Amino acid sequence: MEIAIVGAGVLGSIFGSLFSQNGFDVTLVEVLKERVRLIDREGLWMQWPDGDRTHARMAITSDVNAVGVKDVVMVAVKGYHTRSAIESARPMIGDKTLVLSVQNGLGNLEAIADVVGPERVIGGITAHSGMPVSMNEVKYVGGLGPLLVIGPYDSVSRPGFERMVSAFQKVGLDVHTTPDINQVIWKKLIANVSTNVVAALTGLTGGSAVKHAPTVKVIEALSRELAQVARAKGIDIPELDDPPAFALSAFASTKDNRVSMLQDVEAGRPTEIGNLNEIIVSEGNRLNISTPFNEAVSLLIRGVEERNRQKLSVVESASEPNAVRNAIKAEDLDALRQALETSPLARALSIHFTEFEPGRATAKLPGTPQLPNFLGYTHTGALFTLAEQTMAAVANSLGHVGLPLNCDIEILNAADPAKDVTASARVIDTQGRIARVQVELTQDDQPVAKVAEMVFLRN
């Protein structure tokens, strides 16, 4: 069976790896050329729930016309990209192609059916998740229940659907079927609506949030409002008998994983609030059911999105020397490296690069008598300058001018000013014009600091 996966983010990479490992012919389709280039050149790394780390070569492209017609096209993009993604996927969809959605929220299957017809649309739900480690590495944390629960959008089980299910189950993939995918979607919606937005607004992971009484109260209220709307729509599933218990159990199972909406907020991206809580509000209004908690969190998330947009408008107007801009645009890393190393502060601290390639860089701060602070440790300002140099290197190595939006630094251990400090930076993720960069500072192979930065990629 030949499978194309539209969206090579966390979920697309997880399913691509699982399908490929089990003998299916997989092609990842991704609009971000930086990710395409890196996975094509270096392959895809996966960290598995048992601690194993594997590497695999996988076909990936941005050109859907080069892929050909596939047996299955899996859609693994954010809900707000669904319609544009399925429109662009048309060249891969033949007369017998099935389109499988594994997305969160409501409205995705309807959008896909509008484009390809309801008879070829398969709804899918997974409670499994992961986190990006870099643009070509994903940490798969597993999840509750089966890998996939799938069912035809129009509830008609046709031979093509049955062949797909048989192929998945034959190789041991934990794939279940349902005659009513809408019921299963609403089951997952309980957890998504009740917890994703709470994580995005508080910054708490599931393991912490379920132990915090005020946060639990919000989760309970969101889930009860959803249950009222669901029952009014004729949804009848056992989880609606005690929606807070189900939501809290699902959230607790994510442990220290940063759920997707929290990742979106931290990276300055739009969220899927429109496919989640806002739909509960609109359906509640239609059914004359009050949903004040869902309305409040929806408005708050829209405020967070606006804050991030305003940040972008500030850096949009920035400028830089023509020579540097041209080097970045041409991806001339030798010229960019020289510009970084000859900047006044880098020269003063003798910072130099030992590795520099697209999306990754390593730099060194030599130990000198000028580095101690008043306590005798390496000055934090010098450490941050080293981190900023490597962040600037990788953020500007992808063909766009990278301008910082915000930065967090965590000091882990004091550094000896007489010894060298090494900084290793990598681009964790890019979505549109936002990139996340992570830097690790070490001395004698011991951690000194971790730095995370959100960067705006200006055209």
Tokens of 261: 């909406």
End-to-end CA distance of the chain: 39
For residues 378 and 362, what is the distance between their CA atoms, to the nearest angstrom? Answer: 19
Closest CA to 329 of 433, 399, 432, 394: 399
Predicted local distance difference test score (pLDDT) of residue 314: 58
Predicted local distance difference test score (pLDDT) of residue 400: 84
Q: By the 8 A CB rule, do 78 and 32 touch?
A: no
pTM attached to this predicted model: 0.76
């960019």: which residue's tokens? 336
Helix-strand-coil percent breakdown of the chain, rounded to 5? 45, 25, 30
pLDDT along the chain (459 residues), means of 10: 94 95 96 86 91 93 95 94 94 96 92 95 90 88 86 94 96 94 92 95 93 96 97 93 94 85 85 94 96 97 90 62 83 90 91 91 93 93 94 88 86 94 89 82 95 83
Q: By the 8 A CB rule, do 77 and 102 touch?
A: no
CATH 1.20.1260.10 fits 322-458, yes or no: no
Residues sharing a CB contact under 8 Å with residue 337, sequence separation 6 or more, in sequence order: 353, 356, 393
Residues sharing a CB contact under 8 Å with residue 309, sequence separation 6 or more, in sequence order: none
Predicted local distance difference test score (pLDDT) of residue 144: 74
Which residue type is seen at 82?
Answer: T
Predicted local distance difference test score (pLDDT) of residue 399: 82
Q: By the 8 A CB rule, do 231 and 240 touch?
A: yes
Predicted local distance difference test score (pLDDT) of residue 165: 96
CA distances from 286 to 275, 280, 290 (A): 16, 10, 10
Q: Which CATH architecture has domain 187-315?
A: Orthogonal Bundle (1.10)
Q: By the 8 A CB rule, do 197 and 301 touch?
A: yes
Answer yes or no: same fold for 187-315 and 322-458: no
For residues 168 and 395, what is the distance between their CA atoms, to the nearest angstrom? Answer: 40
Q: Sign (positive/negative) of CA torsion 130, 311, 7, 133?
A: negative
DSSP 408: E
For residues 230 and 240, what is the distance between their CA atoms, to the nearest angstrom? Answer: 8
Q: Which CATH superfamily is domain 2-178 in?
A: NAD(P)-binding Rossmann-like Domain (3.40.50.720)
Tokens of 98: 């099935």
Which residue type is seen at 336?
Answer: L
Predicted local distance difference test score (pLDDT) of residue 210: 94
Predicted local distance difference test score (pLDDT) of residue 315: 57
Domain boundaries, the chain: 2-178, 187-315, 322-458
As a whole number of angstroms, the longest Cα–Cα distance in the chain is 75
Predicted local distance difference test score (pLDDT) of residue 164: 97
Predicted local distance difference test score (pLDDT) of residue 331: 84
